[in-house]
Structure 1
Amino acid sequence: MIESCTVLELASVLAGPSVGQFFAELGATVLKVENPRTQGDVTRRWTLPHETPPDDRSAYFCCCNYGKQSVALDLSTERGQDVLHRLVVDTDIVIANYRPGRAEALGADADTLRSINPALLYGHITGYGPDNPRPGYDAVIQAESGFMTMNGSADGPPTKMPVALMDVLAAHHLKEALLVGLLRRTQSGRGAYVPVSLMQAAVSGLANQATNYLNTGHVPQRMGSAHPNIAPYGTAYATADTPVVLAVGTDRQFAALCDVLGRPALAQEERFATNAARVQHREALNEALRPRLAEQSADALLEALHQRGVPAGAVRTLPDVFSDPHAAAMILDTGDAAHPAGLRQIASDSGGEAPVLRPPPEYAADTQAVLRERLGYDESQIAKLETNGVVVCG
């Protein structure tokens, strides 16, 4: 079913393109429609200080755009909208991230496109819902959804997470919703408008922190990596070499930890015998654990803990992460003439072989081919569109 799908991606940056890339990985044809007035997706120019890509594909852009074809189409023009509407006739899914009201001005709103193709699934990512025109940006959503007040050290300022997690959460919400929409469409033949907002995705991601507040009135405070409900869980402890994190979720696991550390009596103390007691006496617990952990070699400690079924792991840098076979297996290498050494990004691991996908597209690289092969335009028609600024051909 997915292999026969065509997806039109009218989205930029991270959330929407991540959804498009997901469908490309599943085998769908994904046409990324880019705006000539901005020279395409803005992330093409989001480079690191030392990054000098040979073309318009920054590392950031590559994280969520492989497997696609790039079509540069000016939807602010009547002819550009006509091209879009022709494409929609044979499209299964549209992914858009227009601010409410903007898509209507471009002839790219759900009502217009679904009037052309009633079976169309229109996935729409907004910042605050389809009735709120505020633009949505991950950093602002992190602040407004409460994440920043909880993130960081207890004596430090509210802190943004180093990944745009609100975009990632919203993308996952839309992936799930569109897959459900495809399933329902096989039964009804009808498409749907599928809205997802960054704010709602963020609030849903508050999980236990939200229910802690809603049911007890507890307002979370910054506490570093510690967990409000479990101890010892999440805090990084120094060892003789590499910091480790413990994720002790049961009393049995805590007793096993104490055995490995040569301090079995700790698990019998009243203040540490249960999780509730350990949470209550968190500082005393840390004072008891830190000196013994600091004497251990991380590798030997982790091996002993794993043998006893105690969840724990080393604090890794990214070079360490990608030396792990599990992570290395997720690296997708795609190369081309501009990148003979390959373009590397992370592919979703579905349990099978890594997908064979084309590299992230250069801006406008596929405009001409899509117009010719999907819509039947001849060379003179394409040249006229390009001359009039409706399209850009790479």
Structure 2
Amino acid sequence: MTARGARPGPLAGIVVADFTRVLAGPYCTMLLADLGATVIKVEGPGGDETRQWTPPARDGEATYYLSVNRGKRSITLDFDDPGDLAVARDLARRADVVIENFRPGGLDRFGLGYAAVCDENPDVVYVSITGFGRGSELPGYDVLAQAMSGLMSVTGPADGPPTKSGVAIVDVVTGLHAGLGALAALRHRDATGEGQHVEVNLLSSALSALVNQSGAYALADVVPQRLGADHPSIFPYGPFPTADGDLVIAVGNDRQFTRLCGILQIPDAAADARFARAADRSARRDELRPVLERALDARSAMEWERLLSAAGVPAARILDVGEAFDRARALGLDPIARAGDAQTPGVRHPISFSSTPPHYPLAPPGPDADRAWVLSFLGEQGRPDDRSRRRTRHRPRGSSGAGRAR
């Protein structure tokens, strides 16, 4: 890593070749960039599709694209052009991490698949993001994964149709899994000198993210159903009407339920044997619900939120996204980060570090904005480079480097 390319952060010195587009991959690589990795985003001649996904837009640029691409350098490469393809291969050869979300095998014909890259860069961490695994040709769209994973089947009103999440949550979770896999593989490389192929897919990520719902089937052969905003195992746990709007109440144990009944001035409910334990309340939710709703009708959602929170009962009004940012500020979370010289706003990295905080030196790049920088950067790397010396230094005593993943 050259001094000119160095950046602060826990991933300083790591070079990421980003052959991804749309959401799961770009979200993953943006988080890595926030933490100091040098991320070089490779786009085809048509650019990342999300550049065109409007509205909304900021200064003519799609906010969808801007939201997941800060901190990166961009170069446009046409793999059908021999010169551009040579640049792409050089980048993959020099990178610590290659991340791609082409269809399975889509990069093989360009000499950019795992086997070819590993042949020239044996300790590379190569991360493939697919829709449904390497054996499937189904396109990796989030909404398909939401449908196929069962997520839509458990989302929405009990008497209504299956509903997709309000955000492409499977893409987001898959991006997080890709980042976790890359970091775990880098740790393994530091310890052994060996790279490897990391694979994540939308369907497996969705099944994992369904946690208790998918666990109900895996562990007890129970197929969960839609319950609207209710929780399958806990009650009260969800929105309830008040005098002026809904309030979310999250009672997770018997002690909290007793406190809730005290604040709502319904002590008989707390003493009622039908509602004494969490399992009882869940089984008899249809009997308990009207008791709670009658009591909650006496005050506004804001009043109840204040009273219940003060008593240690988890409760919150349902906010829109703008109000959510205001609440985060009020809680001291500072949710907005500004990137680059243009101070382009975006959502702050979600992880805090006491010694190596995230940095935001680069705004989301325009198409091919950094071609000259990238070509110069690759030219400066040379071989053997600083990364090779660093890897040798971290190799365990007695290791010859033999047996690397091929």
Taking structure 1 as the reference length, the TM-score comes to 0.89
Partner of 1:26: 35
| In 2: Cα distance, 1:13 partner to 1:328 partner | 28
Partner of 2:65: 61
Contact 1:71 1:370 in 2 (8 A): yes
| In 2: Cα distance, 1:327 partner to 1:182 partner | 33
Contact 2:251 2:313 in 1 (8 A): yes
- The secondary structure found in structure 1 opposite 2:98 is strand
Partner of 2:146: 142
**What's the CA shift for 1:96?**
0.2
Judged with a 3 Å threshold, the aligned counterparts in structure 2 of structure 1 residues 181 and 134 are, in CA distance, closer, same or farther, namely same
| In 2: Cα distance, 1:251 partner to 1:54 partner | 52
Partner of 1:186: 190
Contact 1:87 1:375 in 2 (8 A): no
- Given candidates 29, 44, 50, the residue that maps to 2:51 is 44
Partner of 1:382: none
AA matched with 1:97: N
| In 2: Cα distance, 1:194 partner to 1:291 partner | 54
Partner of 1:35: 44
| In 2: Cα distance, 1:294 partner to 1:44 partner | 47
Q: 1:1-394 residue pairs with structure 2 within 5 A?
A: 2-36=11-45, 38=46, 40-48=47-55, 51-55=56-60, 57-234=61-238, 236-324=239-327, 325=329, 326=331, 329-334=334-339, 342-352=343-353, 355-375=359-379
AA matched with 1:303: R
Give CA-to-partner distance per residue, 1:284-336, whole Å, 9 cap, x none.
Answer: 11111011112123233222222322111111111210112148612112365
- The secondary structure found in structure 2 opposite 1:271 is helix
**What's the CA shift for 1:53?**
4.2
- The secondary structure found in structure 2 opposite 1:322 is helix
Judged with a 3 Å threshold, the aligned counterparts in structure 2 of structure 1 residues 256 and 52 are, in CA distance, closer, same or farther, namely closer
- The secondary structure found in structure 2 opposite 1:99 is coil
Indicate the percent of aligned positions where both proteins have the same amino acid. 37
What residue ranges of structure 1 are gaps of 5+ in the alignment?
Answer: 378-394
- The secondary structure found in structure 1 opposite 2:22 is coil
AA matched with 2:351: S
Greater CA deviation, 304-313 or 114-123? 304-313
Contact 1:119 1:190 in 2 (8 A): yes
| In 1: Cα distance, 2:139 partner to 2:112 partner | 17
Report how many aligned residue pairs link the two structures: 367
**What's the CA shift for 1:376?**
6.2
Judged with a 3 Å threshold, the aligned counterparts in structure 2 of structure 1 residues 210 and 68 are, in CA distance, closer, same or farther, namely same
**What's the CA shift for 1:52?**
4.8
**What's the CA shift for 1:260?**
0.5
**What's the CA shift for 1:354?**
5.4
- The secondary structure found in structure 1 opposite 2:338 is strand
AA matched with 1:257: L
Greater CA deviation, 303-312 or 88-97? 303-312
Contact 2:35 2:358 in 1 (8 A): no
| In 2: Cα distance, 1:52 partner to 1:3 partner | 32
Contact 2:234 2:282 in 1 (8 A): yes
What residue ranges of structure 2 are gaps of 5+ in the alignment?
Answer: 1-9, 382-406
| In 1: Cα distance, 2:25 partner to 2:44 partner | 15
Contact 2:19 2:43 in 1 (8 A): yes
| In 1: Cα distance, 2:94 partner to 2:28 partner | 19
- The secondary structure found in structure 2 opposite 1:360 is coil
- What's the C-alpha RMSD, in Å, of the aligned pairs? 1.8
Greater CA deviation, 292-301 or 249-258? 292-301
Give CA-to-partner distance per residue, 1:162-210, whole Å, 9 cap, x none.
Answer: 1111111111111111111111111111111000011100111121112
Partner of 1:387: none
Contact 1:101 1:133 in 2 (8 A): no
| In 2: Cα distance, 1:171 partner to 1:349 partner | 14
